[in-house]
């Protein structure tokens, strides 16, 4: 049903705008609109009836519509590609259709063959239009846009979620003093993200990359009155800047090494790399540096510390920037410059590489950390870091489509979760699950439903989006066929496969914990008045409803509904082949649509990426693992703790929760004494708690002290070095030398003063003596 509807939509639209190419060439309007809205809001926002929000929303919605039209135009372009319409020079990446059908990659060949069935395979051609930006020292810098499957997908995601977040924020940020300011920067962010997504050369990527960083700085620090917020904003920006060093160096290496040297153009660089014209060392250096940039921007393990702190910003910001769009910029960049990583990291055929390993570690590390958090947004933040780890791992193991598809689905359900948590926090005025939430199911049933859908999608339960994308990644790690699965993935990354599986289990577990603590048990937040570190917007407190929290307004709920619908349905966009074998009428009809439209398979600027054949056995095992994780957490929380808290009569918070406190020996001793009965509970705590408790806290400790510590220490040591250098070297040595010369001349001046004694005779004597000596010298010299 859905497929036919989409097909009609495609045909009707293309007939209407027969020249679909117009959308592809003029996609640059999409980023321009929010940029203009930013300027308008900045100058006229205050005076508008809705204080600037309406400018923002109209701009983003128009961009959204344009994005859809560009998407449709791309679908048409991809399927009915006519060479003459685009002319030779534009069709840069025309390939002869039949992909390099190496027999080993049976799957791709089969697919292409099926494709051929529809009147000749259609080459994948990116539409690029660029103008000269500046020319310096004989080097051309041009700025332009490049529209292909990847950018169209990103356009859709960014504009869609930005629109929802705009609507959501009108209610959420309602009474805030800097309401207009917030919307101005939201538009600027959307504009710079779209600018980044559409850029056709790496210089533009750098520009977009940093602009997005600045907007996140401004939005995280929205309530900059409190120091922790501005600290978080500063930390976010500085960590991104650290990554930017890698970005700069990487891009410069590419600029000189690739594309016959001296070109920023992405397609030329990729083609040069694919044709093998670039020196391997340059590629390794570039890939390593760009991975560093990814690690900082997409919160991979070593430089991820800023992402949880970035939760200090308003929730819509977290939803838009730190879940759906900005953090995936790193992943997008890797996807865009995939040949560089494909060659640089020798993804094909090897079993380990930097990008994949970093991704894998992040998956498990962040998963564990999510367990220990009390703040609902921090849990979601760590889960985002973990999912980004998935995407990075997918890219690392060669599963390009799986990573991009996971990025696509993740954006929806993670945004859904964040907005859901925002709606709960909005009602309770705090983000602390332990103290102020619990039992919200009764007060906010709608948010509860959407939140559960989001969690299930994230955990990867069967019909929902998460299942399809995560499963795709796990298959493509190639680890499964070693354990008896089937299908040849590019590399055999068993270690990453195992980490992926653990990650899946952890995700399910901590999401269940989060759902329980927030929505189940009894409401702990009676005393809603005190919200210690919650963001108390002045006006908001005014109309604060102290009694029972109630469901949020429509402007918050409708985005949640839409996102939940997407979380459910979006998975079907990329069904693995053979899944809908049933419908004879359209055997290949609705399979691999995402792969077909997005992956530039067979184009000249994309390496021949193998696809593992999705295997049923893996799908079942993966979901079983997820269900096990969820079940275990469910058992622990929903049954043990629930009954315990009912039995003991206090709310969950009062009783010392076995997981997070038993391992602090001092308190453990105390609790043990208080209620002997508690003892057997401790056993289950030890068995269940061990894997979650100390490991997570150790990870957290490492994370907070070791990594975060080093980051802070680096900052402090820089300051100390600054003090040392400034006081010791600058003032004492360099400046000292200068002052010394001043003092020396002054002192010698002092001695000479005595000669000027005022007595005339002395002068006469000196004069004559001088004359005598001179005459003498003169005479002697003459005599010689």
Rounded to a whole number of angstroms, the minimum distance from the CB of residue 25 to other proteins is 22
Q: What's the CA gap between 376 and 433, in Å, rounded?
A: 6
| Listed residue (206, 90, 207) closest to 146, CA to CA | 90
**Residue 279 touches other proteins, criterion: CB under 8 A:** no
Rounded to a whole number of angstroms, the minimum distance from the CB of residue 247 to other proteins is 9
Residue closer to other proteins by CB (options 5, 734) is: 734
Rounded to a whole number of angstroms, the minimum distance from the CB of residue 727 to other proteins is 7
**Residue 765 touches other proteins, criterion: CB under 8 A:** yes
Q: What's the CA gap between 193 and 151, in Å, rounded?
A: 11
Please, which residues have CB within 8 angstroms of residue 570's CB and are 6 or more apart in sequence? 408, 409, 412, 465
**CA dihedral sign, ordered 560, 561, 567, 573:** negative
Burial letters 612-646, b for 16+ CB under 10 A, else e: bbbbeebbebbbebbbebbebbbebbbeebbebbe
Count of positions on this chain that bind other proteins (CB under 8 A): 66
Rounded to a whole number of angstroms, the minimum distance from the CB of residue 24 to other proteins is 25
Residue closer to other proteins by CB (options 249, 488) is: 249
Residue closer to other proteins by CB (options 102, 135) is: 135
Residues of this chain, 7-36, that bind other proteins according to CB under 8 A: none
Considering only 665, 759, 781, 784, the residue that binds other proteins (CB under 8 A) is: 759
Rounded to a whole number of angstroms, the minimum distance from the CB of residue 536 to other proteins is 15
Residues of this chain, 473-492, that bind other proteins according to CB under 8 A: none
Residue closer to other proteins by CB (options 235, 697) is: 235
**Residue 529 touches other proteins, criterion: CB under 8 A:** no
Residues of this chain, 177-206, that bind other proteins according to CB under 8 A: 206
Rounded to a whole number of angstroms, the minimum distance from the CB of residue 778 to other proteins is 9
| Listed residue (157, 302, 313, 144) closest to 230, CA to CA | 313
The secondary structure of residue 45, as a DSSP letter, is: G
Q: Which stretch binds other proteins (CB under 8 A): 217-225, 515-523, 612-620, 632-640?
A: 217-225
Residue closer to other proteins by CB (options 65, 772) is: 772
**Residue 582 touches other proteins, criterion: CB under 8 A:** no
Q: Which stretch binds other proteins (CB under 8 A): 310-318, 462-470, 679-687, 751-759?
A: 751-759
What does the block give as tokens for 7? Answer: 């097909």
> At 432, is the secondary structure helix, strand, or coil?
strand
Considering only 211, 452, 541, 644, the residue that binds other proteins (CB under 8 A) is: 211
Residues of this chain, 126-145, that bind other proteins according to CB under 8 A: 132-139
What does the block give as tokens for 713? Answer: 């220490």
Residue closer to other proteins by CB (options 137, 649) is: 137
Residue in this structure with the two tokens 């490991």, named with its chain if needed: 695
Rounded to a whole number of angstroms, the minimum distance from the CB of residue 134 to other proteins is 3
Rounded to a whole number of angstroms, the minimum distance from the CB of residue 210 to other proteins is 5
Residue closer to other proteins by CB (options 337, 621) is: 337
Burial class of residue 608 in the structure, from the number of CB atoms within 10 Å of its CB (0-12 exposed, 13-18 middle, 19+ buried): middle
Cα–Cα distance list, 410 to 210, 383, 413, 564, 777 (Å)? 23, 11, 6, 12, 97
Length of the chain counted residue by residue: 784
Considering only 84, 96, 225, 746, the residue that binds other proteins (CB under 8 A) is: 225
Residue closer to other proteins by CB (options 639, 779) is: 779
Q: Are 488 and 608 in contact (CB under 8 A)?
A: no
Considering only 581, 687, 781, 783, the residue that binds other proteins (CB under 8 A) is: 783
**Residue 44 touches other proteins, criterion: CB under 8 A:** no
Q: Are 273 and 258 in contact (CB under 8 A)?
A: yes
Rounded to a whole number of angstroms, the minimum distance from the CB of residue 263 to other proteins is 12
Residue closer to other proteins by CB (options 25, 231) is: 231
Q: What is the DSSP string of 487-555?
A: S--SS--HHHHHHHHHHHHHHHHHHHHHHHHHHSS---TT-TT--SSS---HHHHHT---SS--PPPHH
- The helix-helix angle for 329-336 and 202-220 (nearest 10°) equals 170
| Listed residue (596, 605, 600, 601) closest to 92, CA to CA | 605
Q: What is the phi/psi pair of residue 141, to 5°? A: -110, 115
How many Cα atoms sit within 13 Å of 433 on the Cβ side? 24
Torsion of Cα atoms, 519 then 520 then 526 then 532, to 10°: -50
**Residue 227 touches other proteins, criterion: CB under 8 A:** yes
| Listed residue (307, 311, 306, 312) closest to 225, CA to CA | 312
| Listed residue (269, 319, 360) closest to 606, CA to CA | 269
Q: Which stretch binds other proteins (CB under 8 A): 68-76, 424-432, 549-557, 749-757?
A: 749-757
**Residue 740 touches other proteins, criterion: CB under 8 A:** no
Residue closer to other proteins by CB (options 529, 772) is: 772
Residue closer to other proteins by CB (options 296, 362) is: 296
Rounded to a whole number of angstroms, the minimum distance from the CB of residue 730 to other proteins is 6
The secondary structure of residue 263, as a DSSP letter, is: -
**Residue 207 touches other proteins, criterion: CB under 8 A:** yes
The secondary structure of residue 277, as a DSSP letter, is: -
Residue closer to other proteins by CB (options 698, 773) is: 773
Residues of this chain, 698-737, that bind other proteins according to CB under 8 A: 715, 718-719, 721-723, 725-727, 730, 734-735
**Residue 40 touches other proteins, criterion: CB under 8 A:** no
Considering only 673, 687, 760, 781, the residue that binds other proteins (CB under 8 A) is: 760
Cα–Cα distance list, 245 to 164, 248, 286, 295 (Å)? 33, 5, 12, 12
Q: What's the CA gap between 179 and 187, in Å, rounded?
A: 13
**CA dihedral sign, ordered 673, 676, 681, 682:** positive
Q: Are 43 and 114 in contact (CB under 8 A)?
A: no
Residue closer to other proteins by CB (options 80, 177) is: 177
Rounded to a whole number of angstroms, the minimum distance from the CB of residue 227 to other proteins is 6
**Residue 543 touches other proteins, criterion: CB under 8 A:** no
Q: Which stretch binds other proteins (CB under 8 A): 6-14, 224-232, 434-442, 579-587?
A: 224-232
**Residue 666 touches other proteins, criterion: CB under 8 A:** no
**CA dihedral sign, ordered 384, 203, 65, 181:** positive
How many Cα atoms sit within 13 Å of 32 on the Cβ side? 7
Residues of this chain, 232-261, that bind other proteins according to CB under 8 A: 234, 237-238, 241-242, 244-245, 248-249, 252-253, 255-256
Residue closer to other proteins by CB (options 18, 756) is: 756
Interface residues with other proteins (CB under 8 A)?
A: 132-139, 206-207, 210-211, 214, 217, 221, 224-225, 227, 230-231, 234, 237-238, 241-242, 244-245, 248-249, 252-253, 255-256, 715, 718-719, 721-723, 725-727, 730, 734-735, 738, 742, 753, 755-761, 764-765, 768-769, 771-773, 775-776, 779, 783
């Amino acid at each position: 049903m859905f497929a036919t509807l989409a097909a009609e939509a495609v045909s009707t639209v293309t007939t209407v705008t027969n020249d679909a190419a117009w959308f592809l060439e003029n996609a640059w309007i999409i980023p321009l609109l929010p940029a203009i809205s930013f300027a308008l809001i900045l100058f006229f926002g205050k005076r508008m009836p809705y204080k600037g929000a309406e400018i923002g929303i109209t701009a983003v919605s128009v961009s959204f519509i344009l994005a859809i039209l560009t998407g449709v135009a791309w679908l048409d372009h991809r399927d009915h590609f006519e060479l003459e319409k685009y002319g030779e020079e534009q069709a840069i990446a025309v390939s002869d259709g039949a992909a390099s059908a190496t027999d080993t990659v049976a799957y791709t060949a089969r697919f292409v063959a099926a494709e051929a069935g529809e009147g000749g395979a259609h080459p994948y051609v990116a539409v690029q239009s660029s103008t000269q930006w500046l020319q310096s020292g004989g080097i051309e810098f041009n700025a332009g846009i490049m529209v292909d499957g990847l950018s169209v997908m990103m356009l859709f995601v960014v504009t869609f979620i930005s629109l929802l977040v705009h609507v959501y924020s009108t209610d959420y940020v309602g009474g805030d003093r800097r309401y207009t300011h917030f919307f101005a920067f939201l538009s600027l962010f959307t504009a710079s993200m779209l600018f980044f997504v559409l850029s056709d050369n790496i210089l533009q990527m750098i520009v977009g990359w940093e602009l997005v960083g600045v907007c996140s700085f401004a939005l995280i620090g929205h309530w900059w009155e409190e120091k922790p917020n501005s600290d978080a904003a500063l930390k976010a920006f500085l960590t991104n800047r650290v990554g930017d060093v890698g970005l700069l160096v990487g891009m410069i290496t590419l600029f000189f090494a690739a594309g016959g040297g001296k070109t920023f153009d992405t397609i030329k660089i990729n083609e040069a790399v694919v044709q093998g014209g670039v020196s391997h060392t340059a590629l390794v250096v570039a890939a390593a540096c760009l991975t560093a940039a990814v690690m900082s921007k997409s919160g991979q393990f070593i430089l991820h510390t800023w992402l949880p702190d970035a939760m200090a910003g308003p929730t819509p910001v977290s939803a838009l920037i730190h879940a759906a769009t900005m953090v995936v910029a790193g992943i997008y960049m890797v996807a865009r410059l995939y040949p560089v990583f494909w060659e640089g990291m020798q993804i094909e055929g090897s079993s380990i590489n930097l990008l994949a390993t970093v991704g894998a570690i992040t998956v498990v590390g962040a998963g564990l950390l999510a367990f220990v958090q009390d703040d609902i947004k921090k849990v979601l933040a760590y889960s985002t870091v973990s999912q980004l780890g998935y995407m990075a791992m997918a890219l690392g193991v060669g599963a390009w489509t799986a990573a991009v598809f996971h990025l696509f689905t993740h954006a929806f359900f993670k945004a859904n979760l964040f907005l859901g948590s925002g709606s709960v926090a909005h009602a309770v005025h705090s983000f602390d699950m332990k103290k102020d939430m619990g039992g919200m199911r009764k007060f906010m049933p709608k948010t509860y439903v959407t939140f559960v859908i989001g969690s299930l999608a994230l955990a990867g339960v069967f019909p929902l989006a998460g299942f399809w994308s995560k499963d795709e990644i796990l298959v493509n790690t190639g680890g499964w066929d070693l354990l008896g699965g089937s299908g040849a993935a590019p590399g055999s990354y068993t270690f990453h496969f195992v980490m992926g599986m653990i990650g899946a289990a952890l995700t399910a577990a901590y999401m269940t914990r989060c759902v329980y603590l927030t929505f189940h048990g009894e409401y702990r937040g009676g005393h809603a008045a005190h919200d210690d570190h919650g963001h108390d917007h002045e006006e908001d407190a005014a109309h604060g409803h102290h009694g029972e929290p109630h469901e949020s307004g429509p402007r918050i709920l409708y985005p949640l509904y839409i996102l939940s619908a997407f979380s459910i349905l979006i998975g079907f966009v990329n069904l693995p082949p053979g899944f809908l074998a049933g419908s004879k009428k359209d055997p290949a009809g609705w399979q691999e649509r995402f792969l077909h439209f997005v992956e530039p398979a067979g184009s000249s600027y994309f390496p021949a990426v193998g696809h593992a054949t999705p295997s049923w056995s893996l799908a079942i095992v993966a979901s079983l693992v997820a269900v096990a994780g969820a079940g275990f957490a469910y058992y622990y929380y929903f049954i043990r703790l629930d009954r315990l808290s009912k039995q003991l009569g206090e709310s969950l918070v009062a009783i010392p929760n076995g997981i997070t406190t038993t391992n602090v020996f001092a308190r453990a001793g105390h609790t043990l004494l208080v209620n002997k009965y508690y003892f057997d509970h401790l056993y289950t705590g030890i068995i269940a708690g061990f894997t979650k408790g100390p490991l997570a806290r150790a990870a957290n400790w490492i994370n907070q002290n070791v990594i975060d510590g080093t980051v802070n220490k680096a900052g402090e040591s820089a300051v100390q070095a600054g003090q040392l250098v400034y006081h010791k070297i600058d003032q004492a040595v360099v400046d000292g030398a200068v002052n010394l010369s001043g003092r020396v001349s002054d002192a010698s001046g002092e001695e000479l003063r005595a000669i000027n004694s005022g007595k005339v005779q002395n002068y006469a004597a000196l004069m004559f003596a001088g004359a005598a000596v001179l005459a003498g010298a003169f005479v002697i010299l003459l005599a010689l």
